[in-house]
Chain A
Amino acid sequence: MKALEVHNLRKEFTRRDGRGKRRVAALKGVDFEIERGECVAILGPNGSGKSTLVRLLSTLLLPDGGTATVFGRDAFRDTRAVRRMVNRVSVEASFFKKMSAIENLSYAARFYGLRPHETKDRIPAILTRVGFPADRRDEPMENLSRGMQQKVALARALLTAPILLLLDEPTTGLDPRSKQEVQEFIREVRAEHDATVLLCTHDLAEAESLADRVGILDDGELLVLEPADALKRRYRSATLEEAFFAASGHAFENGDREED
């Protein structure tokens, strides 16, 4: 059974601007599959449809067409089962800012059925694992740096032992050291937990270093999905940036569109 199967997935949003209301396609019939334990990076500039894809797979959006299954369960019909298997880390850490890391993780764990006696030792242990200092566990989240908050976000995702981990720009805005620590941790999680990872990023180096296969998503279309080396060979490119240019017809940094 595939960890993730996505077929002809389509999503449009209504956008209001000076010209009135219009429909804008965020995903235009995306197809791909991920094997259990695999790490796939979807590479694309801002507004290419990466976050829409993650939000669809997180059961936060309904598609306009197509299907998505997570370990054989329909992501749009069998949402309860899918939610038990999936967790995510997004670009914004997103916590109750006055509450501490421990408090944020405690209540979040309950939503996944973890009882207090199960999380009493597990939360401190997982915070230690992500390199979160023990003396800051009870501080309000608003006192913590972005890097620290992102470590707590990783801990929150791992606490529920997801078998599909959705990472949406997990290292964007982090300083180089925090970025490296988060990337190390993603490798560790894959190695130790047999988790399948879908990493959406616009960091080319991150995609190349973490993923088994790299997909190029541009303007809502998945142009290609292959191992990084095969991708570079296909487009006779020395770097992923050049491969992106060859596949999409424009430079990576010029591809930004408004996020939906």
Chain B
Amino acid sequence: MRTMSLALRHELVGLGGVIERNIYLVKRYIWWDVAFFLWTVANTLTIVFIAKGIPAVGGKIDVEKVTTILLVGAVIWAYLGIIFEILTETVAWERWEGTIEYTFMAPLSRPVHLFGMGLFAIGYGVVRAILLFGVVAAFFGLHLPDADYVAALVVLIVASISFIGIGMMTAVLPLISPEKGTQLGFVAQGLLLVVSGVYYPVSVLPQWMQALSVISPATYALRGCRAAIIDGAGLTDLWTEIWALLVIGAVSVPLGLWTFRTGERYAKKHGKLKRSG
């Protein structure tokens, strides 16, 4: 019993260490973070301006509603990008800095290591997502009196469990391919969102893409966040989305861990768990 509690304490301290390291990195690269945030704002504005542009070319839409639909899509895209980027850095950044061998030979279990990265990613991503939403909503003067922001945040956090599971699968890519693995993570992010109705309803997709949208957690995250922000849906109204996200999370996290472990074993067998790859 004492051995177990000691082991658990070590793991929790280790988990804190993963978060602590990422906080130091944010602190040290704060101006890069500011620049990246400005780029994300600009990128989001270009997408959300589409809602203003449609009436200008003769289309008839509810501009405020479409603006919000596009804004939620862009914020989720940016959030997912941060989750995947931070999890992919589990390997990619460490390899670049040369610390990969020291981290992977430390007595920290891989699930705790990856969950630490995931927890930090959620915290950091949520702060960025709230800021991004606030800045762009203010820019367009969006009036959302019915919005249930707490429900939207809960949906986003529950969706993050699945995103972390999928992120673990993409995090292994730089371990297998040091040169191109990171870019493949972006491919996974794009594929996930294209089938999930990021800027459009999934009903406009071809049938085979609609089938894929059913297993994508981003589908339920987008639907739930939009319902909460546009229609003011509360947590009880969003139970279908939350339930689906929990089921996908229950599958994707163990699958992500298994994939990462398999990749790590491959890397150890082939000598890729090192600085130069």
Chain A residues within CB distance 8 Å of chain B:
13-14, 52, 55, 58-62, 80, 83-84, 86, 88, 90, 92, 94-99, 103, 106-115, 140, 156, 260
Q: A88 vs B99: C-alpha distance in the bound complex, in angstroms?
A: 12
| A residues near B273, Cβ cutoff 8 Å | 60-61
- State whether A96 and B20 are in contact (beta carbons under 8 Å apart), knowing that A80-B109, A113-B14 are contacts in the complex: no
Determine the residue in chain B with the shortest Cβ distance to A76. Answer: B268
Interface check B139, CB cutoff 8 A: no
| B residues near A94, Cβ cutoff 8 Å | 97-99, 101-102, 275
| B residues near A59, Cβ cutoff 8 Å | 105
- State whether A86 and B106 are in contact (beta carbons under 8 Å apart), knowing that A94-B275, A110-B13 are contacts in the complex: no
Interface-side segment among B23-31, B73-81, B219-227: B23-31
Beyond the given pairs A62-B269, A95-B98, A99-B25, 6 more chain A to chain B contacts, judged by CB atoms under 8 angstroms and listed by A's residue number, are: A14-B270, A94-B98, A94-B101, A96-B28, A107-B20, A110-B16
Q: A114 vs B107: C-alpha distance in the bound complex, in angstroms?
A: 11
| A residues near B240, Cβ cutoff 8 Å | none
| A residues near B13, Cβ cutoff 8 Å | 110, 113-115
Interface check B10, CB cutoff 8 A: yes
Determine the residue in chain B with the shortest Cβ distance to A93. Answer: B98
Cβ B105 vs Cβ A92 within 8 A: no
Could you tell me the dominant secondary structure of chain B's interface residues? Answer: helix
Interface check B58, CB cutoff 8 A: no
Cβ B28 vs Cβ A140 within 8 A: yes
Cβ B105 vs Cβ A108 within 8 A: no
Chain B residues within CB distance 8 Å of chain A:
9-10, 13-14, 16-18, 20-21, 24-25, 28-29, 97-99, 101-109, 265, 268-271, 273-275
Q: A13 vs B29: C-alpha distance in the bound complex, in angstroms?
A: 37
Q: A107 vs B108: C-alpha distance in the bound complex, in angstroms?
A: 12
Q: A14 vs B269: C-alpha distance in the bound complex, in angstroms?
A: 10
Cβ B101 vs Cβ A111 within 8 A: no
Residue of B9, B24, B268 touching A107 (CB-CB under 8 A): B24
| B residues near A106, Cβ cutoff 8 Å | 17, 20
Q: How many A-B residue contacts, CB cutoff 8 Å?
A: 97
B105 CB, min distance to chain A CBs, angstroms: 5
A-B contact pairs, 26 of them (CB 8 A): A52-B271, A60-B273, A61-B273, A80-B109, A83-B105, A83-B106, A84-B107, A88-B105, A90-B101, A94-B97, A94-B101, A94-B102, A94-B275, A96-B21, A96-B24, A96-B28, A99-B21, A99-B25, A103-B24, A107-B21, A110-B20, A111-B17, A111-B107, A112-B107, A113-B107, A115-B13
Residue of A52, A80, A108 touching B102 (CB-CB under 8 A): A108
B27 CB, min distance to chain A CBs, angstroms: 9
Cβ A60 vs Cβ B104 within 8 A: yes
| B residues near A114, Cβ cutoff 8 Å | 13
Most buried by A among B28, B104, B109, B275: B28
| B residues near A260, Cβ cutoff 8 Å | 271
Cβ A61 vs Cβ B268 within 8 A: yes
| A residues near B103, Cβ cutoff 8 Å | 111
Most buried by B among A61, A97, A103, A111: A111
Cβ B106 vs Cβ A108 within 8 A: yes
Q: A61 vs B109: C-alpha distance in the bound complex, in angstroms?
A: 17
Cβ B14 vs Cβ A111 within 8 A: yes
Cβ B16 vs Cβ A58 within 8 A: no
Cβ A60 vs Cβ B20 within 8 A: no
- State whether A95 and B99 are in contact (beta carbons under 8 Å apart), knowing that A62-B268, A110-B14, A115-B13 are contacts in the complex: yes
Determine the residue in chain A with the shortest Cβ distance to B17. Answer: A110
Q: A109 vs B269: C-alpha distance in the bound complex, in angstroms?
A: 27
| A residues near B104, Cβ cutoff 8 Å | 60
- A-B pairs with lowest CB-CB distance, top 10: A110-B17, A113-B10, A111-B106, A107-B21, A94-B98, A83-B107, A98-B28, A58-B105, A103-B24, A84-B107
B15 CB, min distance to chain A CBs, angstroms: 8
Determine the residue in chain B with the shortest Cβ distance to A80. Answer: B107
Q: A103 vs B97: C-alpha distance in the bound complex, in angstroms?
A: 15
A173 CB, min distance to chain B CBs, angstroms: 14
Cβ B108 vs Cβ A111 within 8 A: yes
Residue of A55, A86, A98 touching B274 (CB-CB under 8 A): A55
| B residues near A83, Cβ cutoff 8 Å | 105-107
Q: A55 vs B267: C-alpha distance in the bound complex, in angstroms?
A: 12
Q: A113 vs B105: C-alpha distance in the bound complex, in angstroms?
A: 14
Q: A108 vs B18: C-alpha distance in the bound complex, in angstroms?
A: 9
Q: A260 vs B277: C-alpha distance in the bound complex, in angstroms?
A: 10
Cβ A55 vs Cβ B101 within 8 A: yes
Determine the residue in chain B with the shortest Cβ distance to A110. Answer: B17
Q: A96 vs B17: C-alpha distance in the bound complex, in angstroms?
A: 14
Determine the residue in chain A with the shortest Cβ distance to B97. Answer: A96
B16 CB, min distance to chain A CBs, angstroms: 6
